[in-house]
């Protein structure tokens, strides 16, 4: 365990910064993956997870516009997923 502590103490960033950057990177990758999904239910679930990751990062860096955009995407995806699960989701032709 002391080796891990020594390794972490030599990193240029604090551990929380590294974690938040990893969360943001995963969120961006997951969001990109969600665009290519065909099943709407899975796509909305993936968008919820990705936008939550990116919202956490946006709050961490203090960017209000990015926070608002990710919160909007997350809320919209939650609403659509609930509509799909309850059978109220309709498509227009």
Instruction: Specify the pLDDT at position 39.
Output: 86
Residue ranges of the chain with per-residue pLDDT less than 70: 1-11, 92-93
Q: What is the C-alpha to C-alpha distance for residues 73 and 76, in angstroms, rounded to an integer?
A: 5
Instruction: Specify the pLDDT at position 26.
Output: 96
The answer to whether 37 and 43 are in contact (CB under 8 A) is yes
Instruction: Specify the pLDDT at position 88.
Output: 87
pLDDT digits (tens, 9 = 90+) for 9-20: 666 778 888 899
DSSP the chain: -HHHHHHHHTSSS-HHHHHHHHHHHHHHHHHHHHHT---HHHHHHHHHHHHHHHHHHHHHHT-HHHHHHHHHHHHHHHHHHHHHHHT------
Instruction: Specify the pLDDT at position 79.
Output: 93
Instruction: Specify the pLDDT at position 41.
Output: 84
């Amino acid at each position: 365990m002391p080796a891990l502590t020594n390794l972490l103490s030599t990193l240029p960033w604090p551990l929380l910064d590294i974690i938040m950057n990893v969360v943001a990177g995963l969120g961006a990758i997951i969001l990109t993956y969600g665009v290519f999904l065909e099943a709407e239910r899975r796509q909305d679930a993936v968008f919820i997870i990705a936008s939550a990751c990116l919202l956490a990062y946006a709050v961490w860096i203090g960017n209000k516009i990015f926070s608002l955009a990710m919160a909007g995407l997350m809320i919209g995806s939650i609403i659509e997923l609930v509509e799909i699960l309850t059978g109220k989701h309709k498509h227009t032709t």
